[in-house]
Structure 1
Amino acid sequence: MKTLIKSNALIDGANREPIVNGCMLIEDGVIKAVGKEEDFGSLDEVKVEDLTDYYLMPGLINSHTHLSVVPGLGDQLGQLRLPGERNILRSMPNIKKDLASGVTTMRIMGEEHFIDVEIKKAIQEGLIEGPRLLVSGRGIVASNGHGAALTLSDGEEEVRKHVRENLAKGADQIKLFVTGGVSSSGKGLDFCGYTAKEVAAAVEEADRMGTYCAAHAHGGKGVDLCIQEGVRTIEHGALVTEKQVEKMIRRNMWIIGTFSILFHPEGIEKSDFSDPSIKEKVLRARETEAEVFDMVLKSGVNLALGTDSMHGQMSYEAKCLTRFGANNWKTIQAITKHAAEACQVEDLVGTLEVGKLGDFIALEENPLENIEALEKVKEVYKEGRRILK
């Protein structure tokens, strides 16, 4: 069955100007035509979805998150260490929040017990509704590194082994924890937990399977190693320097901004501020973030956004990026077109163009004029099918 989707205006994610009274023809979940209603002429056996009260845009892509973690509960590593069965159940309301916020694709940046792989299968099989998942399996982290939950990878051979196991289980990409992090006490953000050979081993194993490594990395030597050894995406990047960004541009790398976990009152500050070390790092990151991402935006380096487990908060991520200097169009692309490119799914999603999947959301206001329009998602469609209203 073919479906003609009508809108007030269609923001396709590829072209800055919306298509006023834009329409999409979707068949078997795939966009077959895009244009104004008069461009379609007479269509036989076509179901019409009248969304002329709304502005339509591509489904949002969360480029960095986890399924079972809720930052406001505190002790994120303790949450990851819970039994797999429990964390699958804990993930369900989080997935529902993400879907309701307009997210139709999510890149999962590490879960223990391979729960992300199993939840991805459940969504694909139609057992549960949820965004399309791109999964990493278990995070690759040194025993003394940030992110050390249950699975620890020390030394080149252990890194190789665990990367191979992740890929054998069905990981779409590999997640490394290279530097210190905000939500763990003790080590600073520029602490580097891995050697060049360990990072290189992970990159080599991922590359041989046709995929890539993403690295939790804020700044310092860890970011230098990631650039040097061929990591593709730098997650967070709160302390990256202009020289590092210049090198990233030359290597066509990506920075994935994650702001809500630092700035939102339901983020780290809700519980973990009781640890003075964590509080100090959060406050420091808040001070540097605006300056760093002003530089990042001006540089033109590849940029996408993720909520880092702040479920349902993609609109907040977008507001933060505009606060740091991005215009609404660049911000929209950071959570649609550019996010799809960062996650290597640009042939499937990210824009509303012929041949792409019919993932889109409906908004009452034009987000090009008011980015806060993203806070009120009225309809969510995945592959042309309404999955939330």
Structure 2
Amino acid sequence: MCQACFAPSSANGRLHFCHCGTPETLAAMRRIEADISRRQMLGGMSAVIGMFAGFGLAPRELRAQTAGRPLLLTNLRFFDGETLSIRGGNDILVRDGRIAALPAPGQGPEDAERIDCGGRTVIPGLIDTHWHTTLVAVSQLVAMTQEPGFVHLVAGREAGATLMRGFTTVRDVGGPAFALQAAIDRGVVEGPRIFPAGAIISQTSGHGDFRFANTLPKMPLDPASYPEAQGMAAIADGVPEVLRRTREQLMKGASQIKIAAGGGVASQYDPLESLQFTEAEMRASVDAAADWGTYVCAHVYTSPGIRRCLAAGVKSIEHGQLADEDTVRMMADAGAWWSIQPFLADEDANQYTDPKAVAAQTAVSEGTVQAFEWAQKHRVNWAFGTDILYGGGESQARQLAKLARFMSPLEALHRATGAAGELLALSGARAPYDGRLGVIAEGALADLLVIDGETDTDLSWLADSGNLRLIMKGGRVVKDSL
């Protein structure tokens, strides 16, 4: 309020009121505030882009079709992501970011810009259904203690590397990925499409509780812990708190919700076999997600934990390598999805010295081999994921190649393309992108890879990103070494 609001009138000594509260004045103030906000936003965006430029992450010129002119990929064979065979006798026409048609050679539009694939194989862009975009490239210590700006800048750099490995889409299942998703979608940095879950929702002492024991007990007026404040985890105990934390992630833009329903291999406090969240708590999250047309996925390894998840309506089991065969049958009967990671205690695995962690890792490794067998035997819906945390992102494609130990190369590729796209579709209207992913079909989003390699005989070509001769995301060519 201005000083004149109660100033005495020079004419009669009475108090008089100014026009601060009139509709005209308020409208003018809103216009001024909007202009100030716009200027601050533009200045802030310039600063952010400048920071990214310092990391080599400034927006780069990408090859894209001329406005109104389609792209036509010719002289190729292709794997469509669904049928376990390599097809020939078609070109791939791309228009407005989508696959417009699969015309016979020579039948494409005359005005199309042509890309000769040299007889190579074209496959859909790869999908990792268990990824942590913000936490993959830093150590746990850095993630939990360093400036958020640094963590996110490193995540931006890793996002570009992820795309260059041929992964055009990832499902983020825990971490503050919303800002990175926005930066990628707006062209500030390069990276894959992100289906974000936001913070991992965890009970106290659960797999998503990253606090140290010396910070307990937490009292009602205590501030959020650093991992909670940064959006890495959300601690919830009881149905009302689970509802609140689930709805917070939905408000932020989560395409699916991630809960921790059991312990982890190297968790400091929660044993691997521990059960986390009651069925009522899980169901609260499931119901809140369903109200928004999406679903809940759950970190869990053991049969009792998986069964509780299924009873509560969880749609996607993350890990699950210690499931027994009856539980696998239950997953198939429930129509649940299984996101399986090739945890094989090999050269790419995390290294542990604690005997309990080593024993747990061994059990999970043995269970992984069994999981692939039972998933195939009982026809469970399952998709490929990696769950790489705190370094080691460069092994992402190698992890996919390991599936060829358990199935045909094309079946393995199907689990990282067409099957993974079906899992992503569970997000319904909450999906950030409008269109099918993981397939080469009319109307699908044009995420394509042109590769040097025999996809129907082996997956060794995945070990060298140089074998990806062309990478296209949404109709834009982001790499071309043809």
What is the TM-score with the length of structure 2 in the denominator? 0.74
Find the counterpart in structure 2 of residue 342 from structure 1: 423
Find the counterpart in structure 2 of residue 331 from structure 1: 412
After the TM superposition, which of the residue ranges 140-149 and 371-380 deviates more from structure 2?
371-380
Q: Select which of 295, 312, 315 maps to 1:212.
A: 295
Q: Select which of 386, 400, 405 maps to 1:318.
A: 400
Per-residue displacement from partner, 1:339-370 (whole Å, max 9, x unpaired)? 00111179421111000011011110121111
Structure 2: runs of 5 or more not aligned: 1-68, 211-226, 228-233, 426-430
> Is the aligned partner of 1:267 residue 2:267?
no
In structure 2, give the amino acid aligned to 1:4.
Answer: L
8 Å contact kept, 1:6–1:21 = no
Q: Counterparts of 2:411 and 2:362 in 1: how far apart (Å)?
A: 27
The structural deviation recorded for 1:142 is 1.1
In structure 2, give the amino acid aligned to 1:59.
Answer: G
Q: Select which of 131, 135, 150 maps to 1:86.
A: 150
Q: Is the partner of 1:130 in helix, strand or coil?
A: coil
- Shift in CA distance, 17/291, structure 1 to aligned 2, threshold 3 Å: closer
- What pairs up with 1:14-33 in 2 under 5 angstroms? 14-20=82-88, 22-33=90-101
Q: Counterparts of 2:103 and 2:263 in 1: how far apart (Å)?
A: 48
After the TM superposition, which of the residue ranges 348-357 and 367-376 deviates more from structure 2?
367-376
Structure ranking higher in strand proportion: 1
Q: Is the partner of 1:263 in helix, strand or coil?
A: coil
Q: Is the partner of 2:290 in helix, strand or coil?
A: helix
Q: Counterparts of 1:257 and 1:276 in 2: how far apart (Å)?
A: 25
Find the counterpart in structure 1 of residue 47 from structure 2: none
Find the counterpart in structure 2 of residue 143 from structure 1: 204
The structural deviation recorded for 1:80 is 5.0
In structure 2, give the amino acid aligned to 1:51.
Answer: C
In structure 1, give the amino acid aligned to 2:73.
Answer: I
8 Å contact kept, 1:305–1:317 = no
- Shift in CA distance, 264/217, structure 1 to aligned 2, threshold 3 Å: same
Find the counterpart in structure 1 of residue 77 from structure 2: 9
Find the counterpart in structure 1 of residue 314 from structure 2: 231
Find the counterpart in structure 1 of residue 42 from structure 2: none
Q: Counterparts of 1:312 and 1:378 in 2: how far apart (Å)?
A: 18
After the TM superposition, which of the residue ranges 326-335 and 197-206 deviates more from structure 2?
326-335
Find the counterpart in structure 1 of residue 455 from structure 2: 367
> Is the aligned partner of 1:110 residue 2:198?
no
Q: Is the partner of 1:144 in helix, strand or coil?
A: coil
8 Å contact kept, 2:84–2:414 = no
Find the counterpart in structure 2 of residue 308 from structure 1: 387
The structural deviation recorded for 1:135 is 0.2
After the TM superposition, which of the residue ranges 235-244 and 290-299 deviates more from structure 2?
290-299
> Is the aligned partner of 1:171 residue 2:254?
yes
Q: Counterparts of 2:150 and 2:173 in 1: how far apart (Å)?
A: 19
- Shift in CA distance, 200/55, structure 1 to aligned 2, threshold 3 Å: same
Find the counterpart in structure 2 of residue 58 from structure 1: 124
The structural deviation recorded for 1:381 is 0.5
8 Å contact kept, 1:10–1:23 = no
Q: Counterparts of 2:458 and 2:104 in 1: how far apart (Å)?
A: 24
- What pairs up with 1:276-295 in 2 under 5 angstroms? 276-295=355-374
The structural deviation recorded for 1:312 is 4.0
- Shift in CA distance, 66/7, structure 1 to aligned 2, threshold 3 Å: farther
Find the counterpart in structure 1 of residue 135 from structure 2: 69
Q: Select which of 431, 443, 462 maps to 1:355.
A: 443
Find the counterpart in structure 1 of residue 230 from structure 2: none
Per-residue displacement from partner, 1:257-298 (whole Å, max 9, x unpaired)? 1125x53524312xxx13333222112211222123212221
8 Å contact kept, 1:59–1:336 = yes
Q: Counterparts of 1:46 and 1:374 in 2: how far apart (Å)?
A: 30
Q: Is the partner of 2:454 in helix, strand or coil?
A: coil
- Shift in CA distance, 384/264, structure 1 to aligned 2, threshold 3 Å: farther
In structure 1, give the amino acid aligned to 2:72.
Answer: L
Bigger radius of gyration among the two: 2
In structure 1, give the amino acid aligned to 2:130.
Answer: H
Q: Is the partner of 1:313 in helix, strand or coil?
A: helix
Q: Select which of 240, 249, 264 maps to 2:323.
A: 240
- Shift in CA distance, 312/110, structure 1 to aligned 2, threshold 3 Å: same
The structural deviation recorded for 1:94 is 2.0
The structural deviation recorded for 1:204 is 0.5
Find the counterpart in structure 1 of residue 160 from structure 2: 96
- Shift in CA distance, 284/322, structure 1 to aligned 2, threshold 3 Å: same
The structural deviation recorded for 1:35 is 4.0
Per-residue displacement from partner, 1:314-362 (whole Å, max 9, x unpaired)? 4323333222x22222211100000001111794211110000110111
Q: Counterparts of 1:378 and 1:318 in 2: how far apart (Å)?
A: 18
The structural deviation recorded for 1:174 is 0.2
8 Å contact kept, 2:161–2:191 = no
8 Å contact kept, 1:100–1:312 = no
What is the TM-score with the length of structure 1 in the denominator? 0.91
In structure 2, give the amino acid aligned to 1:388.
Answer: K
- Shift in CA distance, 12/292, structure 1 to aligned 2, threshold 3 Å: closer
Q: Is the partner of 1:367 in helix, strand or coil?
A: coil
Q: Counterparts of 1:7 and 1:56 in 2: how far apart (Å)?
A: 10
Per-residue displacement from partner, 1:214-248 (whole Å, max 9, x unpaired)? 00011132111111010000001111121111111
Q: Counterparts of 1:227 and 1:83 in 2: how far apart (Å)?
A: 39
Find the counterpart in structure 2 of residue 34 from structure 1: 102
The structural deviation recorded for 1:200 is 0.5
Q: Counterparts of 2:263 and 2:141 in 1: how far apart (Å)?
A: 14
Find the counterpart in structure 2 of residue 385 from structure 1: 476
Q: Counterparts of 2:418 and 2:147 in 1: how far apart (Å)?
A: 36
In structure 1, give the amino acid aligned to 2:356.
Answer: S
Q: Counterparts of 1:250 and 1:335 in 2: how far apart (Å)?
A: 23
Q: Is the partner of 2:382 in helix, strand or coil?
A: strand
